[in-house]
Structure 1
Amino acid sequence: MSRYRNLFPVVVLLLALLIPAASAAIVWGPYVTNTTGDSAMVTWKTTDEGPGWVEYAPEGGEVCRVTSSGEGSMHRVLLTGLLPATTYRYRVGTGDEMMGDCRFRTFGDQTFTCIIYGDTRGQKPFFTQAERHGLVAERIAEEEDILFVVHTGDFVCDESEWDEFFAVAGPVLRNTTLVPVAGNHDGSAEAFSAIFGLPPYYSFDAGNLHVTILDSNDRAWADMETQTAWLEEDLASPLPRKVVAFHHPPFSSDRKRPGGDLAIRAEWCDILSRSGVDAVFSAHTHAYERYQAGGTEYFVVGCGGAPLYPLAGEKTGGHQVSHEGTLGYVRATVSPKSIVMEMVAVAEVTEEGEVTMYPAGTVIDTVCLPQDTAPPENVAAGWWGAPAALLSVAMLFRLRR
């Protein structure tokens, strides 16, 4: 046997050459967050640890390649030195796995379209994200030239559902920037930052629009004073258009939480009004609602696929429009003079769970901000016409659920 010992290293080498190396499959993404006028962050997750890379280029431009750190299965690469208002193509790779034909656009355009939706979690064993969220994601993916998508929170029911979320949302995320809001089902602040590379509250500018993302979860109240002080300073932005997003709605006719989150209303709504915020987007109530208070339009967009909630017959003051049993999203067209918000209905869901699809592009509510500005000719009028007169809602006492 000793005469064959010297052959052992040779056999091992031959086997290594003959047997293909294991591939680190991509299971999340890629997805882009933290986009500005000159940078963007690309993230993806693989089944195995190891180095990865991103290749990117402006359309028709020179291809650049950046390597990820390779620390763990989460890969994150910050692309810098980008051109503003420019579309970039990119692809990512890890091991033998490669995913390409993705794109995003850096901020800087004065007119653009963005999408707002949320509460995409499933309700197993009754239905999965693929069965409900998938219907909404498919319609959003058909929208053209979406600069970014705001997800108003509750991406998942629990941490076991993240794989499903990224699989269902993949066609949307590969062609835009994701702006995440932390929901009460999305884990800790540390988990949120690990997935998206962002803190629980932050802000950014896109053209003439200033966007502020807040953390309204129970954990935030331990240091709400700091976040509220940051909010007041942040909303001093000189940009003419401002929108804010957080998960818990300060106005809602949800039967479980009549009136909405009164503590959030007392903490932030006066600041939002004084700062000239055009619109606020929330979720948590699994329906579509719209309210007016203090010169600001409040949207509840919790109809991205989670189990839909019935609303109370008696509506909270400032109520304008509500739709139960409807899956959908808000499409916002932003220009230097106005923001046109359209609620796009995707499907109707009965209490028995029967799903009926709406024709693509069905708009069931439209509002133009500021309200004395007519919507552009290429924006369809909603079914509900002009909103009612502005109603002022008094700030109520602090009360947590």
Structure 2
Amino acid sequence: MRFLLALSIYVALASCNKLPMWRGEVNVTAMERKSIKACGTGAPTDAGTKAISRHPYLQSTTVSTTIVAWGSTEGRGTVVLREPGDPKVLATSPAVYAGDPTRGKARLAAQSGKEIEADDIYVMKAEFTKLEPGHLYCYQLLDGDVALTELAPLTTAAPPGAPNAMRFVALGDTGSGDPAQIAIMKRLAAEQFDLMLFLGDIAYESGTARQLETRFFAIYRDFTRYVPVYPAIGNHERRTRKGRPYFEAFVLPEPERYYSFDWGDVHFVAIDTTERNAQQLAWLDDDLGKNKLPWVIVYGHHPMYTNSLRGPQLWIRKAFAKILTRHKVDLVLTGHEHQYERFKVGDVNYIVSGGGGGQLTSFYGRSKALKQATVHHYLAFEVSAEQLVMKAIDISGNEIEALKLTKEGGGPVKSKVNDKPDDKSTPVAPEKTTTPDEKLHDEPDDDTEHDKVKDAPKVDAPPAKVDAPPKKPGG
């Protein structure tokens, strides 16, 4: 009886915790992208509209490699690289199937001769190696001699110590399909960035293939054609066969559920907070121990600190926080709670950024965050070897706050908030004033659209042959 009473109270509070849906309009002047001007928009040709079921998107880009992925109705295609303004082909990569090898033939047959549905998408990938670091190329999809797209730009990752600061954006809990998500997407058109991080819950409610298409790829395709996207899995993506459609859609660095990559002077680490995994913790400890870059940003879905009704995920904090502190991680970005919060525990800055489009939620209990705001928003970063600047921008284009971290000559990190020195730390752990539910991270597999399937055995496909571009003189 007590349990039922407590449950009813929690449900009532959770219902009251949700705020009205955002309704409004956003008019933004898109910033001109020099790379698009140099190459093109990558729009599908007439032939491409029939052969492409998901627009091309960039994946797993490094200083010397990149992957172009797309949805194909024919199960074939080739990608070529050119220098801007030069018709000569530098490199050619035939595409291979990137999805579940046990379902590929059936999926391709299912979409033959009828209107394409998101559940039938046959994901192809073409990989390029031996590229120049920080270099702009123009890529194009072909089927034989037939162009499926116009030329589009791709830029390899900048090397450490590059003269220009690298820029990226981060968004959490975007996948509602509501006006707020569209408005935030439009705001991004005014930003310059090299890559995109997504902090989970990109496809409500259950992360099905259809929801991934309509609430992620179709919405962000004018960005993901030009810059690589690096997501972290959320609990809503996990709901469908433990994230199978999610992992079929994205071509991420190994081991995929969690992974790391470098760009410029930043070492990025994506973690999986949707399941308890001792192997991941050992991997994380080893990965951070090997890092040599000046900045480390770890990102995932569930927050270790928050003032939300649901409270922090204590098991996640217990599992990860000691490792993050020991390796002096600079920033930890998470979502899950649909609001903005900033904490500093020890020397680690924790940002909760779940305002990318989902219905906002209010705070609960006394405020212990150094900053909090209930508003849709995104994060914009600019990072050089000695300085990291993060700006939280709300749906109206206003700056919620700006955090600046500076490292000079190997000395301690200096912090500024809104250009004023600020070394404040979170005084009291938020969990002392909230009641966390430790089961919320592990929600059931509630997909009702598909039969449940067991994990397919991994099949190693032979690597595609790639013609590398010739080295430049002196390169």
TM-score (norm 2): 0.67
The residue type equivalent to 2:260 in the other structure is: S
Q: Are residues 279 and 99 of structure 1, via their aligned partners in 2, closer, same or farther at CA, if it must alter by over 3 Å?
A: same
Q: Secondary structure at the match of 1:167?
A: helix
- Structure 2 CA distance for partners of 1:93 and 1:300, relative to 1, 3 Å: farther
Q: Secondary structure at the match of 1:276?
A: coil
The one-letter amino acid paired with 1:211 is F
Structure 1 residues 31, 21: CA separation in 2 closer, same or farther (over 3 Å shift)?
closer
Q: Give me the whole-angstrom Cα distance separating, in 1, the residues matched to 2:427 and 2:279.
A: 27
Q: Contact (CA 8 Å) 1:137, 1:172: kept in 2 or not?
A: no
Mean Cα displacement is larger for which, 71-80 or 270-279?
Answer: 71-80
Q: Residues 256-277 of structure 1, C-alpha deviation per residue, up to 9 Å, x if partnerless?
A: x12x111111111111111010
Contact 1:134–1:169 (CA<8 Å) still a contact in 2? no
- Equivalent residue in structure 2 for 1:192, among 220, 243, 246: 246
Q: Distance in 1 between matches of 2:422 and 2:185?
A: 28
Query: Aligned pair 1:92/2:144, yes or no?
Result: no
1:306 and 2:391 are equivalent in the alignment: no
Q: 1:67/1:206 Cα in 2 relative to 1: closer, same or farther (>3 Å)?
A: same
Tell me the CA shift for residue 308 of structure 1.
1.1
Query: In structure 2, the residue corresponding to 1:330 is in which secondary structure?
Result: strand
Q: 1:208 Cα shift?
A: 1.6
**Residues of 2 paired with 1:170 and 1:93: CA distance?**
19
TM-superposed CA distance for 1:81, in Å, is: 1.4
Q: Structure 2: which 5+ residue stretches go unaligned? A: 1-45, 98-103, 109-121, 408-412, 440-475
Q: CA deviation at 1:314?
A: 1.2
2:59 to 20, 24, 33: 33
Cross-structure match for 1:147: 194
Within 1, Cα distance between the matches of 2:140 and 2:422?
44
Q: Structure 1 residue aligned with 2:377, among 325, 328, 352?
A: 328
The answer as to 2:154 corresponding to 1:108 is no
Q: Aligned partner of 1:32: which letter?
A: L
Listed one character per residue, the Cα deviations across residues 183-223 of structure 1 (whole Å, up to 9, x for unaligned) are 11113244332111121100011122111111000xx21xx
Query: 2:315 maps to what in 1?
Result: 263
Q: Which residue of 2 aligns with 1:216?
A: 273
Higher percent of residues as strand: 1
Contact 1:281 1:299 in 2 (8 A): yes
Q: Distance in 1 between the 2:429 and 2:354 partners? A: 25
Equivalent residue in structure 2 for 1:276, among 313, 328, 331 = 328
Of 214, 220, 227 in structure 2, the residue corresponding to residue 169 of structure 1 is: 220
CA contact (8 A) 1:117 1:304 kept: yes
8 Å contact 2:48–2:147 — kept in the other structure?
no
The Cα of 1:232 is off from its aligned counterpart by 0.5
Match of 1:24, SS state, is helix
- Structure 1 residue 178 corresponds to structure 2 residue 203: no
Kept in 2, the 8 Å contact 1:104–1:147? The answer is no
2:180, 2:424 → 1: CA distance?
A: 35
Query: Is the Cα contact below 8 Å between 1:119 and 1:153 reproduced in 2?
Result: yes
TM-score (norm 1): 0.79
**Matches of 1:320 and 1:279, distance apart in 2:** 15
Distance 1:91 1:328, change over 3 A: farther
Partner of 2:203: 156
Task: Say what the alpha-carbon RMSD is for the aligned residues.
Answer: 2.7
| Deviation by residue 1:77-96 (Cα, 9 ceiling, x = unmatched) | 11111110112222224597
Deviation at 1:395, TM superposition (A): 11
Distance 1:273 1:21, change over 3 A: closer
Give yes or no for contact 1:117–1:152 (8 Å, CA) kept in 2.
yes
Per-residue CA shift, 1:81-132, capped at 9, x if unaligned?
A: 111011222222459772334322211243211111121121xxxxx34x22
- Aligned pair 1:363/2:402, yes or no? no
Q: Please say if residues 334 and 351 of structure 2, whose CA atoms lie closer than 8 Å, have aligned partners that are also in contact.
A: yes
Alignment check: 8 A CA contact 1:333 1:339 kept: yes
- Asked if the contact 2:272–2:301 (Cα under 8 Å) also holds between the matched residues in 1, the reply is yes
Could you say which residue in structure 2 is the equivalent of 1:400?
Answer: 438
SS in 2 for 1:186: helix
- Give the secondary-structure state (helix, strand or coil) at the position aligned to 2:381: strand
Aligned to 1:355: none
